[in-house]
Amino acid sequence: MMTALKLLLGLLIALLLFVAVLAVRTLCTGKKEAIYTPSEDQERIAAYGEKLSRMVRYETVSYRDAPDVEKFRGFHALLAELFPRVFAELEKIEIDGNLMMKWKGTDDTLAPIMIISHQDVVPAEGEWTHDPFSGEIVDGKLYGRGAGDIKNGVFSFYQAVEELLAEGYRPRCDVYLGSSCTEEIGGDGAPKMCRWLQERNIRLFMLCDEGGSIIEDPIAGVKGSFAAIGIFEKGYGDMRFIARSNGGHSSTPPRNTPIARLAKFEAEVERRSPFKVRFSEAVDGMFRNLAPYASSFGLKLVMVNLPLLRPLVKKLLPMISAEAAAMLQTTIAFTMQKGSDGYNVIPQEAWVTGNLRYIPHQGLEESNRIITELAAKYDIETEWVTGNDYSRSLDLNGEPYRMTLACIGKIFPQLGVMPYVVTGGTDSRFFDPVCDACVRFTPTAVDADQLGRMHGIDENISVNVLPGAVDYYKCLIRMQEER
């Protein structure tokens, strides 16, 4: 009896000590505020807004089945008009409508950097309040398809180089500006640019592309403005799951018809994901960085003590947030489904498609094997359609990441920073063969409404965020002098 009591007492003391450690660690983490301050330089804002407006007015929709190289060449001509110094002094390389500008550096021994953003946009469907290709500026917001995704990026780095040239600046390393015209259709523009570099044995020191931007209130319980820096990109896969039978009449239905089997399979995947949950450096870094900004003690305690509480958080997080879950594991979403063609016909073949997003700790091959084996349990065949694996991860202890942080700190001194996992797809994934360090971050600020309108109706960007973005790219190019 005494020993049991002693054991219980010992456990209680250990638990109290553990809680005390968590609390002390939390209390030792200071409170910070993350603030973004837009520009007040009305002259710059007006001039930049006008240039970006003209870029938006030029329609650059890309279509999968109808490549229109001439349309993009027309856009290049507009860029040449808006950024005359860039086109006069940099070498122009055009590959089937994809544009690269090469700015020769003074030191041949240094690996170049490349800044990219695509020039194409998705079609503008639905009823817009502001014509999608008018480039209208109303109450400080520039409306139009591509204003947010991602002509603001193209504008910002072209303008940065234009201004550096006007100052007589020469970069130390070669600087490439790249812009594919096929990003929105997952086309071969970026791979072609990558091949061009490969053929010349050019390895990049760093590549900067879209991915994250400056966002507000990134997760529930954390308020403020943060630079969301994409550390890696998940892989992408389309699969088809097929259930077969001998058909039969629906008046005498057998058990386990194809549709029922598919439904059981889908329900199991949704009830209990077959993919492993694991914290990556990016997700750890995200919570570590966000901890000082947490509004409640409880949330802060969890974030600060993540290494100690990981088993618990691993279980809870996927239940709380789909976004968070997507950063911790491979995901699958069922997207299209088909059975027979008649109300009264049991299908001989029914299928459902699944869209997978692969995480580095369970890549394309392993994830496909897991889902194939699970499907087989329900007598379902699997067919691979298309896809690619996850991208390489940016080293959070490396020089390119340090430079990114340094420029953010200089241009946006009160901004918070958070590394994160890009769950969509960008052009930068194609550059893995020539670059170890892809920074997926555009230095323009967007609020939640603007973020939701990319690819949607009334896409827009605030024009007072443009000067900061231009300054950021100027800083990044100048920072190469420190290498």
Q: Which residues bind Zn ion (CB under 5 A)?
A: 149-150
DSSP-based three-state secondary structure for 143: strand
- How many whole angstroms separate alpha carbon 418 and alpha carbon 320? 20
Q: Measured from the CB atom, is 26 or 182 closer to Zn ion?
A: 182
Inter-CA distances, 136 with 143, 459, 460, 477, Å? 5, 11, 9, 31
Residue burial 248-287, b: 16+ Cβ < 10 Å; e: rest: eeeeeeeeebbbbbbbebbeebeeebebebebbbbbebbb
- How many whole angstroms separate alpha carbon 5 and alpha carbon 9? 6
- How many whole angstroms separate alpha carbon 97 and alpha carbon 181? 6
Residue 118 CB, shortest distance to Zn ion, in Å, is 6
Inter-CA distances, 205 with 109, 111, 401, 471, Å? 11, 5, 11, 21
Q: Measured from the CB atom, is 136 or 149 closer to Zn ion?
A: 149
Q: Measured from the CB atom, is 165 or 454 closer to Zn ion?
A: 454
DSSP-based three-state secondary structure for 135: coil
- How many whole angstroms separate alpha carbon 483 and alpha carbon 111? 10
* Residue 167, both tokens: 């100052």
8 Å CB contact between 238 and 355? yes
- Parallel, antiparallel or unpaired: strands 141-143 and 137-138: antiparallel
C-alpha dihedral, 331 to 334 to 335 to 341, nearest 10°: 160
8 Å CB contact between 113 and 172? no
Residue 149 CB, shortest distance to Zn ion, in Å, is 4
- How many whole angstroms separate alpha carbon 39 and alpha carbon 443? 13
> Which helix (H) or strand (E) element contains residue 56?
helix 42-57
Q: Measured from the CB atom, is 149 or 174 closer to Zn ion?
A: 149
Angle at 217 between CA 215 and CA 220, to 5 degrees: 140
Q: Measured from the CB atom, is 149 or 459 closer to Zn ion?
A: 149
Q: Measured from the CB atom, is 215 or 380 closer to Zn ion?
A: 215
- Please name every residue paired with 336 in a beta bridge, in sequence order, or none if there are none: 353
Residue 120 CB, shortest distance to Zn ion, in Å, is 9
Residue 343 CB, shortest distance to Zn ion, in Å, is 43
Q: Measured from the CB atom, is 245 or 462 closer to Zn ion?
A: 462
Residue 61 CB, shortest distance to Zn ion, in Å, is 13
DSSP state letters, 259-315: HHHHHHHHHHHHHS-SSPP---HHHHHHHHHHGGGBSSHHHHHHHHTHHHHHHHHHH
DSSP-based three-state secondary structure for 98: strand
Residue 59 CB, shortest distance to Zn ion, in Å, is 16
Q: Measured from the CB atom, is 188 or 268 closer to Zn ion?
A: 188
Q: Measured from the CB atom, is 130 or 440 closer to Zn ion?
A: 440
Query: How much of the chain is in helix, strand and coil states, percent to nearest 5?
Result: 45, 20, 35
Residue 344 CB, shortest distance to Zn ion, in Å, is 46
- How many whole angstroms separate alpha carbon 58 and alpha carbon 70? 13
Q: Measured from the CB atom, is 98 or 245 closer to Zn ion?
A: 98
Q: Measured from the CB atom, is 39 or 213 closer to Zn ion?
A: 213
